[in-house]
């Protein structure tokens, strides 16, 4: 296990004078904190002996029903028996990897890919093979070629890990056409799909995308989370899995932590039951859309020629490519000296790729701070070009 690039950055980026375009922290300030406080107090008063007791390894039954209602927004038709509540979707990732991976097994993942997943895969000594992506998401032809080449070489491909909607870190979304192709390729090759979808309900312009899981209940393990639609502090996420995998997940969950926090689960359940959660998600969407616009507008106005970036339609992230010859990791110390932080691209690859890239997050700073951060960053990049 090694510390991720982001972890090391947090201390620096959290200094007040630094505009952090680095971490992907949800803007929890937009939550009705008083209401959440009352709800929690009421929960302890009314159901304290349940909330403060051990729970089941699979998770609170009522919350699992509510999770199914949330997933219906993305076309998923599932029952609570197939849901396992986890400590954020991060734990679901850990459990799935623990169940499936022996050292040396192959996991396919988009290049670039979510740094937290790469860390988990490394901890279980998986061998990650990246599949190319473009502005329309994972490229199906690359996926098919990778599977073919690996199989021919006698390697075991255990699963495809993908964040198809508003990807972290690239900010791109897999098109409907490609969704069908990806499912078809994996189905024919007998490769399980792990669909990680924490940002799916945070689209800025359209109805939620149909989840991969909606069209292949037997071939997809779906991971969801309340971290971005409510708050990461509850640490409530989930996995929706075909029966045999679900059973193993419950066993793995029990061996890891006995049961999830009953308190956190009941609090989230009570929130969903009593609060206008769809409205709250709309509030988040509008807030993040304004910040995305601030970032994209400032990049267009200020970045020197030769820089390019993605156009996210939801989620938290923009993926920027620097002009030829520049290395984002080498630029970072100077950027921090100029009081702006980003995450260098190399952290999002299991190989040595990504030197010319950086991830810019627009979820946390206010729009004016974002513009100021881009102004500082553009100045640093401009200087690098002159050097």
Residues at the contact surface with ligand PMP, assessed by CB under 6 A: 24, 88-90, 114, 116, 163, 168, 196, 198, 225, 227, 232, 237
For 286, other C-beta atoms within 10 Å of its C-beta total 12
- 150 or 341, CB closer to ligand PMP? 341
Please state the closest distance from residue 343 (CB atom) to ligand PMP, in A.
Answer: 12
Alpha-carbon span 150 to 358, nearest angstrom: 29
Please state the closest distance from residue 153 (CB atom) to ligand PMP, in A.
Answer: 29
DSSP 244-298: HHHHHHHHHHHHHHSS--HHHHHHHHHHHHHS-HHHHHHHHHHHHHHHHHHHHHH
- 112 or 371, CB closer to ligand PMP? 112
- 90 or 150, CB closer to ligand PMP? 90
- 114 or 309, CB closer to ligand PMP? 114
Of 222, 239, 200, whose CA–CA distance to 87 is shortest? Answer: 239
Please state the closest distance from residue 291 (CB atom) to ligand PMP, in A.
Answer: 16
Please state the closest distance from residue 196 (CB atom) to ligand PMP, in A.
Answer: 5
Tokens 């951060």 -> residue: 373
Please state the closest distance from residue 281 (CB atom) to ligand PMP, in A.
Answer: 15
Alpha-carbon span 350 to 111, nearest angstrom: 9
According to DSSP H, which parts of 84-193 are helical? 88-100, 115-123, 140-152, 176-189
- 90 or 259, CB closer to ligand PMP? 90
User: Which residue's Cβ lies closest to ligand PMP?
Assistant: 88
Burial of 258 (0-12, 13-18, 19+ CB in 10 A): exposed
Assess contact for 183 and 219: CB atoms under 8 A: yes
- 24 or 59, CB closer to ligand PMP? 24
- 84 or 163, CB closer to ligand PMP? 163
Of 363, 370, 382, whose CA–CA distance to 340 is shortest? Answer: 370
**Dihedral sign of CA atoms 82, 216, 182, 147 in order:** positive
DSSP 192-244: EEEEE-SSTT-BSSSSPPPPHHHH-TTTEEEEEESTTTT-GGG-EEEEE--HH
Please state the closest distance from residue 45 (CB atom) to ligand PMP, in A.
Answer: 28
Of 146, 117, 119, whose CA–CA distance to 131 is shortest? Answer: 146
- 68 or 96, CB closer to ligand PMP? 96
Assess contact for 314 and 199: CB atoms under 8 A: yes
Please state the closest distance from residue 151 (CB atom) to ligand PMP, in A.
Answer: 27
Please state the closest distance from residue 305 (CB atom) to ligand PMP, in A.
Answer: 31
């Amino acid at each position: 296990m090694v510390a991720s690039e982001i972890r090391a950055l947090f201390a620096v980026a959290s200094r007040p004078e630094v505009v952090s375009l680095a971490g992907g922290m949800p803007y929890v300030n937009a939550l009705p904190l008083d209401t959440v406080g009352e709800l929690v107090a009421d929960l302890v008063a009314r159901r304290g002996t349940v909330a403060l007791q051990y729970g089941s390894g699979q998770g609170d039954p009522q919350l699992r029903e509510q999770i199914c209602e949330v997933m219906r927004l993305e076309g998923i038709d599932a029952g609570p028996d197939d849901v396992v509540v986890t400590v954020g979707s991060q734990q679901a990732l850990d459990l799935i990897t623990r169940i499936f991976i022996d050292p040396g097994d192959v996991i396919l993942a988009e290049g670039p890919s979510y740094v937290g997943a790469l860390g988990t895969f490394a901890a279980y000594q998986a061998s990650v093979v990246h599949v190319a992506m473009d502005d329309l998401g994972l490229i199906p032809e690359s996926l098919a070629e990778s599977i073919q080449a690996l199989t021919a070489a006698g390697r075991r491909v255990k699963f495809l890990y993908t964040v198809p909607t508003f990807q972290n870190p690239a900010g791109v979304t897999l098109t409907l056409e490609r969704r069908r192709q990806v499912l078809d390729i994996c189905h024919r090759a007998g490769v399980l799909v792990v669909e990680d979808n924490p940002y799916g309900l945070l689209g800025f312009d359209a109805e939620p995308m149909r989840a991969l899981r909606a069209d292949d209940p037997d071939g997809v393990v779906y991971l969801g989370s309340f971290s971005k639609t409510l708050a990461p502090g509850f640490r409530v996420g989930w996995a929706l899995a075909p029966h045999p995998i679900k059973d193993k997940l419950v066993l793995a969950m029990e061996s890891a932590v006995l049961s999830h926090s009953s308190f956190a689960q009941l609090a989230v359940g009570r929130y969903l039951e009593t609060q206008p959660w769809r409205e709250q998600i709309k509030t988040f969407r509008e807030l993040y859309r304004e910040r995305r616009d601030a970032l994209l507008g400032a990049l267009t106005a200020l970045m020197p020629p030769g820089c390019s970036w993605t156009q996210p339609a939801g989620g938290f992230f923009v993926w920027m490519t620097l002009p030829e010859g520049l290395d984002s990791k080498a630029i970072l110390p100077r950027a921090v000296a100029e009081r702006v932080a980003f995450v260098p691209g190399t952290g999002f690859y299991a190989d040595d790729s990504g030197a010319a890239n950086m991830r810019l997050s627009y979820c946390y700073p206010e729009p004016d701070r974002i513009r100021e951060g881009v102004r500082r960053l553009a100045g640093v990049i401009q200087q690098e070009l002159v050097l």
